[in-house]
């Protein structure tokens, strides 16, 4: 960080900047903490339930950093699943925790979307999973192409949502408003 400050023409020893390398190190430790967490642990607790219909959590806040520029992208995730035949469900907060574990890494939005869908699919063995992310990328807003307000939408579907167009359309109608 000190070398970056010198490279951009700053004085790393001036009062406001002298502790900046340390601050950035601490900030990065938090922003990239997901690299040191086992995502499977997030879903370690699950419950039996007689619910065989859609469970959908909308508008889960997403903060991540693109791996190309290390600039933030942020927006929301919508995560839905239909529990498997043995009816296991997870705590609703775990879906938000799962987003954070994968988001707190150098990312691309597509991979973040797929990682969430794959882990839910693997660990909960649900009948279907649908994940939609809508994010704005600062690397496209405050630099480069300067397109402020454009949002990128990515989705990943697993299980019955892949084959059953009616179920997918029903879930999408609850997600996209």
Ligand X SMILES: Nc1nc2c(ncn2[C@@H]2O[C@H](COP(=O)(O)OP(=O)(O)OP(=O)(O)O)[C@@H](O)[C@H]2O)c(=O)[nH]1
Binding site for ligand X (CB under 6 A): 66, 68, 108-110, 137, 139-140, 144-145
* Residue 145 binding target from ligand X, Zn ion, none, CB below 5 to 8 Å by type: ligand X
Set 78, 109, 115, 135: catalytic member: 109
Decide whether 103 or 171 has the Cβ nearer to ligand X. Answer: 103
In whole angstroms, the minimum distance from the beta carbon of 145 to Zn ion comes to 11
Burial label for 48, CB within 10 Å (0-12, 13-18, 19+), is: exposed
Going by their DSSP bridges, the two strands 72-82 and 55-66 should be labelled as antiparallel
Which position among 52, 61, 67, 110 bears the catalytic label?
A: 67
Residue 139 annotated among the catalytic residues of the structure: yes
Contacts of 169 (CB under 8 A, 6+ apart): none
| 140 interacts with, out of ligand X, Zn ion, none, CB within 5 to 8 A per kind | ligand X
Q: Which stretch binds Zn ion (CB under 5 A): 45-53, 77-85, 127-135, 139-147?
A: 139-147
Cα→Cα distances 22→32, 46, 111, Å: 15, 39, 30
Out of 66, 79, 133, 175, the only residue in the binding site for Zn ion (CB under 5 A) is 66
Alpha-carbon dihedral sign for residues 98, 174, 156, 106: negative
Q: Is 139 in the site for Zn ion (CB under 5 A)?
A: yes
Task: Name the binder of 40 from Zn ion, ligand X, none, CB < 5-8 A by kind.
Answer: none
Counting Cβ atoms within 10 Å, is residue 120 exposed (0-12), middle (13-18) or buried (19+)? buried
DSSP run (H or E) holding 80:
strand 72-82
Q: Which residues are annotated as a binding site?
A: 66, 69, 139
- Is 88 near Zn ion (CB under 5 A)? no
Which residues make up each annotated binding site for Zn(2+)? 66, 69, 139
Per CB under 5 A, residues contacting Zn ion are: 66, 68-69, 139
């Amino acid at each position: 960080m000190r070398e970056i400050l010198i490279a951009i023409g700053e004085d790393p020893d001036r009062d406001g900047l002298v502790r900046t390398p340390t601050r950035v190190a601490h900030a990065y430790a938090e922003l990239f903490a997901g690299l040191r967490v086992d995502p499977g642990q997030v879903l370690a607790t699950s419950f039996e339930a007689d619910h065989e219909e859609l469970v959908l959590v909308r508008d889960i806040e997403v903060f991540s950093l693109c791996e190309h520029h290390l600039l933030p992208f942020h927006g929301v995730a919508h995560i839905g699943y239909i529990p498997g035949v043995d009816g296991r469900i997870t705590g609703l907060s775990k879906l938000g925790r799962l987003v954070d574990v994968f988001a707190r890494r150098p990312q691309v939005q597509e991979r973040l979307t797929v990682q969430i869908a794959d882990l839910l699919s693997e660990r909960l063995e649900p009948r279907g999973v649908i994940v939609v992310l809508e994010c704005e990328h600062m690397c496209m807003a405050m630099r480069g192409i300067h397109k402020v307000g454009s949002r990128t939408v990515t989705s990943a579907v697993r299980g019955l949502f892949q084959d059953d167009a009616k179920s997918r359309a029903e879930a999408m109608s609850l997600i996209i408003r």
